[in-house]
Amino acid sequence: MNTPSSRGFERLATAASRFAGQPLSFTLAALLVVVWAITGPLFDFSNTWQLVINTGTTIVTFLMVFLIQSSQNRDTAAIQLKLDELIRATEKAHDSLIDLEQMDAAELERVRHQFEQLARRARGESCDGAPPGVSS
């Protein structure tokens, strides 16, 4: 569903992912850790001083998990669509492989087994996996 709030999240997630992947972001995070470490003696390395960095890193990590998952979901969907188009446009390709990612595990295993058999035949191997003329 493409609601205004989901579009807003997608824009925010995309912008945050782009920013997080820049060298500037890493530099700022590293600088923040250095400043935190330098301030340790000022706060006598207190529990509160330690809690600040622990809480901050936990929150950032928690939020980044969702950003990373969002980015991976978009990338995976785009790749699947591109692969589906290549399958559709290739004359000798098996159109039944379009939307393969929607199959359950048993169906995927059946298709994988069929393609393993095709690969063995293409290599000239027997069904037991041995090359021609070699008995197992």
Domain range for 119 is 94-126
Q: Are residues 88 and 104 in the same domain?
A: no
Q: What is the C-alpha separation between 10 and 64, in angstroms, rounded?
A: 14
Q: Contact at 8 Å (CB) between 23 and 6? A: no
Task: Kindly give the parts of the chain with pLDDT less than 70.
Answer: 1, 126-136
**Taking the model in full, what pTM does it have?**
0.63
Asked if residue 58 belongs to a domain, the reply is yes
Q: Are residues 11 and 78 in the same domain?
A: yes
Q: Are residues 62 and 12 in the same domain?
A: yes
